[in-house]
Amino acid sequence: MEIEQIEVLNFLNQHPPFNELPEETLSWVATQIEVSYFKAGTQILAFEQEIDALHLVRSGAVEVFRRNGDLYNRLSEGGLFGQFGLLRQGKVRFPAQALEDTLVYLIPAEVFNQLFEENETFADAVEIEDRTRLRQAISRHEDANELLTERVSRLIKRDLITLDKNATIQDAARHMTEQRVSSLLITEPNTLKLAGILTDKDLRIRVLATGADVTQPVSEFMTSELFTIEHNQMVFEAMLLMLRFNVHHLPVIKQGKPFGVIAVSDVMRYESQNSLFVVGSIFRQTTPEDLAALAPDVRASFIRMVNEDANSHMIGSAMAVIGRSFKQRLLELAEIELGPAPIPYCFLALGSMARDEQSLVTDQDNALILHDSFDPELHDEYFKKLATFVSDGLAACGYTYCTGDIMATNPRWRQPYKVWQEYFTDWIEKPTPESLLHSSIFFDLDGVWGKVEWADQLNDRILRQAKRSPRFLACMARNALNRTPPLGFFKGFVMETDGKHNNSINMKRRGTAPVADLIRVHALAIGSKAHNTFERLEDIIAANILPKGRGQDLRDALELISIVRIRHQAKAADLGEEADNNVAPDDLSHFERKNLKDAFQILSHAQKFLRFRYPMH
């Protein structure tokens, strides 16, 4: 091997994914590489040009762009680009330009393809990085373009579920419940010939609302005039079909036979997984002011999800991802401005962000775990500035300061790991309702930056200790009863009386928060590792600690209360008004008011059970 190739080999050994290749393979790759030099400002790759090599930055810096000219990524030594084009028809999808004088190693396409086919580690690294960066970088318009090219079959995630049209409505309802689906494809007897579709909406409107006999055949109530789509058509075509004919479920056909069903929620879930929202834009911003300018995009994404009937779990998760992304980018920018942290740390998200339950109206709850080598005189000034930078940045982006001062700017919540261990030990082993009144939010925590494993370790410690402390659970339960649903003696609504929000209900304080509080207590009692309230409830139902049927009732109540709150915020935002949590019952339909009363009654029963299960002694 010549000396130049030895130099290439040494370089490859220092950079992933090449440093994980077998020595013999790596030596062969080194002999195949060519070197190119590009002056600062020179175009390296142009959109749609043929590409015949993987590009590896040897020295210098390269900027990679999206097709519309927006910056996609900035690479330095060891950075890879061009793999997206090699994996997709050999055409450049992301143009590249030398930011400064740059040396690039060119790995021929045939070498790249052989590595990709024969080495799983190499293939995984290339594919994972590609998907992750795309997920962060591509805007809503780019995601819409992907909908033009993705097949409907991609959305089918479960086996085909059908029912004979001669089966009864009761059979259909039981089957839908057992299979946990919102629709059934109805077939002709003893065949897979499609006869119709039955949805939750059909059951509500055609059966329950009319008091129909549930022993009648399902064929009397199904929708027989169907709109269908072929499995190999595009997701975008499915969206257009749903919008044009105002349908929420589409049967999917393959070779003349039913293949599955897609719903509006499936399309929404697919879009969110491809970063329909503003996450990509967040990671491209270079100042806090640029980040703050994205607030209208966050509102627009929120409104769109609501208008497309996404459920509260999906919306809450998407908004939490956006919130985490703001924090992560602000922390990156803080370290650029302040320099690297003097000791390791973990930045925590608390409350609704940690539970993946954020809405458009939210404040910031955060904290810092510092390495146990923390010395206040040496280190605290840096972390105070870091916390202030992030907190001020979040406030500018629409995440208001916490009125209870539960932020990393408060030195009490900026402590070494060993102090956090002491906090939780004290709260759990020496509990009082008063000591836990303002600390319950810390039992919803998630690491978003830095040594995130510290957050996982704390969560594990909490679960171990909480299960062994009946008094702690009783104190948490007592505090969970402080916020009651807004129902009067005769089950009428109890309104706010604070002037500005007279004749309204605070749907967070009197609705979603009490549900999250009581489910958190049960989750701690059974050792559930879930963060999200819906997911915690699934664990609680599986643990069989609730009266029969109450878990499903509580899930339905939480969804209804959450979605009423979310829709109220979206309506205000769409009108250009300030969104809040205060819903006036007079603004709801009779149907909504009735169901909301039922939901609050379920919450009231759940609180009574909580008091019974975790009594104070």
**C-alpha closest to that of 351 among 361, 362, 340:** 362
H-only helix segments in 33-139 = 83-87, 109-118, 120-137
- CA–CA distance, 65 with 49 (Å, rounded to integer): 14
Residue listed under structure tokens 């080495």: 119
Share of the chain above pLDDT 70, in %: 89
Q: Which of 428, 465, 309, 445 lies closest to 366, judged by CA?
A: 445
Which positions ≥6 away from 573 have C-beta within 8 Å? 299, 302, 303, 360, 579
The three-class DSSP label of residue 48 is coil
For residue 204, give both structure tokens.
């509500």
CB count within 10 Å of CB 378 equals: 11
Task: Name the range with the highest mean pLDDT among 248-257, 313-322, 601-610.
Answer: 601-610
Q: What pLDDT, on the 0 to 100 scale, is given for residue 301?
A: 81
Q: Do domains 152-271 and 288-465 have the same CATH topology?
A: no
149 vs 503, residue with greater confidence: 503
- Give every CB contact of residue 336 below 8 A, 6+ residues apart in sequence: none
The CA distance from 612 to 127, in Å, is 52
Domain spanning 3-135: CATH superfamily: Jelly Rolls (2.60.120.10)
Helix (H, G, I), strand (E, B) or coil at 334: helix
Q: Is 355 helix (H, G, I), strand (E, B) or coil?
A: coil
Tell me the per-residue pLDDT of 245-303, one tens digit each, with 9 for 90 and over: 668 889 999 888 899 999 877 776 555 443 345 677 888 899 999 999 998 888 888 88
Instruction: Determine the Cα–Cα distance for residues 398 and 414; give it in Å rounded to an integer.
Output: 23
Which residues face 164 on adjacent strands?
187
**Where does the pLDDT of residue 140 fall: very low under 50, low under 70, confident under 90, or very high at 90 and above?**
very low
- Distance between CA 135 and CA 145 in Å, rounded? 13
**What is the tens place of the pLDDT at every residue in 355-414?**
989 999 888 999 999 999 999 999 999 999 999 999 999 999 999 999 889 999 999 999
pLDDT at position 548, please?
86
* 545 vs 551: CA distance, rounded Å: 9
Helix axes 295-307, 312-338, angle to 10 degrees: 170
pLDDT tens-digit series, residues 182-239: 899 999 998 889 999 999 889 999 999 999 999 999 999 999 888 899 888 877 677 7
Q: Enter the DSSP assignment of 614.
A: S
Alpha-carbon distance 103 to 100, whole Å? 10
Confidence grade of residue 131 (pLDDT, cut at 50, 70, 90): very low
Helices then strands (H, E): number in the chain? 23, 20
For residue 240, name the pLDDT band (cuts at 50, 70, 90): low
pLDDT at 129: 43
Answer yes or no: are the C-beta atoms of 364 and 321 closer than 8 Å: no
Structure confidence at residue 289 (pLDDT): 94
**Structure token digits, residue 213:** 């006999």
Cβ partners under 8 Å of residue 304, min gap 6:
none
Q: Is the pLDDT of residue 133 over 90?
A: no
Beta strand 257-263 with 582-583 is: unpaired
At 405, list the tokens. Answer: 């001062």
| This prediction's pTM | 0.57
> What confidence score (pLDDT) does residue 158 get?
82
* Distance, CA of 609 to CA of 546 (rounded, Å): 8
pLDDT tens by residue, 414-424:
999 999 999 99
Name residue, tokens 């109450």: 550
Taking CA atoms, 19 is separated from 11, 14, 27, 90, in Å, by 9, 6, 11, 25
Tokens linked to 203? 């059951």
**What number does CATH give the domain 152-271?**
3.10.580.10
Kindly state the greatest CA–CA separation across the chain: 90
Domain 288-465 architecture? 2-Layer Sandwich (3.30)
* Residue 591: strand, helix, or coil: helix
Which CATH architecture describes the domain 475-613?
Up-down Bundle (1.20)
543: left (phi over 0), alpha (psi -120 to 50) or beta: alpha
- pLDDT of 331 reads 96
- 117-145 mean pLDDT: 50
Domain boundaries, the chain: 3-135, 152-271, 288-465, 475-613
What tens digit of pLDDT does each residue of 50-83 get? 999 999 999 999 998 877 677 777 888 888 999 8
